[in-house]
Amino acid sequence: MKKEPFVTLEQLKEIDKTYPTPYHLYDEKGIRENAKRVKEAFAWNKGFREYFAVKATPNPFLINILREYGCGCDCSSMTELQMADALGFGGDEIMFSSNATPAEEYQFARQINATINLDDFTHIEFLEKCAGIPEKISCRYNPGGVFKMSNGIMDNPGDSKYGFTHEQIIEGFKILKEKGVKTFGLHAFLASNTVTNEYYPLLAKVLFELAVELKEKTGVAVKFINLSGGVGIDYRPEQEKNDIMVIGEGVRKVYEEVLMPAGMGDVALYTEMGRFMMGPYGCLVTKAIHQKHIYKEYIGCDACAANLMRPAIYGAYHHITVMGKDNSVCDHKYDVTGSLCENSDKFAIDRMLPKVDVGDFLVIHDTGAHGYSMGYNYNGKLRSAELLLKEDGTVQMIRRAETDRDYFATFDFCDILKDIKWRE
C-alpha cells in the first residue's frame, strides 16, 4: 500500500515563494469530509456529539471548521478552556477532562458552565470546596487490569494514573447524588491509537454495563456516556484504516443489547477524538539541506524534533514522501534527522527512500494531531508556521512562525539582551 500526500510538488513550490520550510500544513477538504463521516456514523444516537480533543491540534481556525459539523471542545487545561470560551462555545459544548487539576481551573470551568469530567474520587471534595458541585457532572472510570482486543492489541488501564476504581465510582455517584447532582455522565479511555474497528464497541460494552450497574446500585440514571478517544490512524502504509461507519454500527449494536433492555435508550453518546479527527489531515513539510556520509547515510532537514517530537520520544513511525520521486525505487537507506543536539532527533531510522538530493521537499505524514501541539523550544528552536490548504487550492497562514523576539519576550530582564540583533 502507498501513502499519498494531499499536496503536490507544484503546490509546495508555489507555497515556498511565500512561506519557508519547515511548516505544518493542513488539508481543509480532508478535515471536512472526515468530520461529516463521524457525524453520520453516530447519527442513530440523537444526543451524539464529538468533543474534539483540543490538545491534539489547538488551532482556532481548525476548531471552527469542526464546529460547523456540530463538534464541541474537549479541554484539559486553563488555556484550552479559554480558547473554547473565546471561540464562543457554550457550556454544553465544552467538556473539561483534566487531572491533578488546579483550583482556579475548576473555578473557571464552573464560570463558563463547562461539563466537568472528574478524574479522581478525592476531587469531589476538592471541587466542592474550591468551586462548588454543579448539577451536571461526569466521572472518569478506570477498570484496572489489562484491556485486550482480539487482534492482540492491548493496553494496561491498571498502570494508568487516570480515573476512579470500580468501588470509587459507585460510592462517588452516591455522594454526588446527595450533593445535588441531577445529570450524570460516564467516561473512560482504555487504549491509545487503536487501529481496529472493535475498540469503541468493546469500550462501549464496559461503560454501558457499568451504567446499568450504577442505576441498580445508586438509583442514578446516566444521561451521557463519553467514549473518549483512542481511535487511531494508519501511520504505516501497510495498516488498514479504521472505518468509522463500521465502528458506529458496532457501538449501536452494543447500545441496543445492553442499554435498551435496561430502559436506558435515551443515553447520549459523546466522543472526544483528536488523532482520528485531524491526524491524517496534517503533514510536516521540510527540505533536505544536508547529506552526511559516515558509518550510516544521513539526510539533514530544516525541521527537527522541536517541530515533531513523536519519533524522538516514542520511536513513533511517520511515513515520509520525497516529493517528485513518489514513483522512484526506494533503494537508499537513510536516517532522516534534524539539527537538535540530541541523537534521538531523527524522523526515521534506516528508512528506505528514493535517492534524496539537497533541496528536495520531504512530506512527513500524519502530523495533524500531536504534531505542532507537542512542539517546544529546546536549543532555542522557534515554532514553525501552520498553514491551511483550502478546498479551492489556496493557502492561508493560520498561525505565524515564532520569531526570536517571541522567544526572548518572556524574560523579565530584557535590558540584559538589549544588544541582540533581531532578525527581520
Do residues 361 and 246 both lie within one domain? no
Please provide residue 362's backbone torsions phi and psi, each rounded to the nearest 5 degrees: -110, 130
In a domain, 16, yes or no: no
In a domain, 102, yes or no: yes
Do residues 41 and 152 both lie within one domain? yes
Q: What is the CATH number of the domain that holds 395?
A: 2.40.37.10
Q: Domain tally for the chain? A: 2
Do residues 115 and 262 both lie within one domain? yes
CA distance 35 to 41: 10
Q: Is the pLDDT of residue 416 over 70?
A: no
Q: Which three cell numbers stand for residue 42?
A: 453516530
Output the pLDDT for position 2. 84
Output the pLDDT for position 87. 97
Do residues 348 and 285 both lie within one domain? yes
Active site residue 341: yes
CA distance 138 to 417: 49
Do residues 260 and 337 both lie within one domain? no
pLDDT digits (tens, 9 = 90+) for 113-172: 999 999 999 999 999 999 999 999 999 999 988 877 766 555 677 778 899 999 999 999
Do residues 286 and 200 both lie within one domain? no
What are the residues whose beta carbons fall under 8 Å from the beta carbon of 373, sequence distance 6 or more?
55, 56, 57, 58
In a domain, 22, yes or no: no
This prediction has a pTM of: 0.95
Do residues 240 and 292 both lie within one domain? no
Q: What is the CATH number of the domain that holds 197?
A: 3.20.20.10
Output the pLDDT for position 412. 66
CA distance 416 to 94: 43
- Max Cα separation, the chain? 74
Do residues 247 and 287 both lie within one domain? no
pLDDT digits (tens, 9 = 90+) for 245-292: 999 999 999 999 999 999 999 999 999 999 999 999 999 999 999 999
Full domain range(s) for residue 362: 280-408
Kindly name the residue from 73, 130, 330, 341 that is annotated as catalytic.
341
Do residues 126 and 171 both lie within one domain? yes
Do residues 228 and 146 both lie within one domain? yes
Do residues 218 and 228 both lie within one domain? yes
Q: How much is the average pLDDT of 25-47?
A: 98
Do residues 246 and 365 both lie within one domain? no
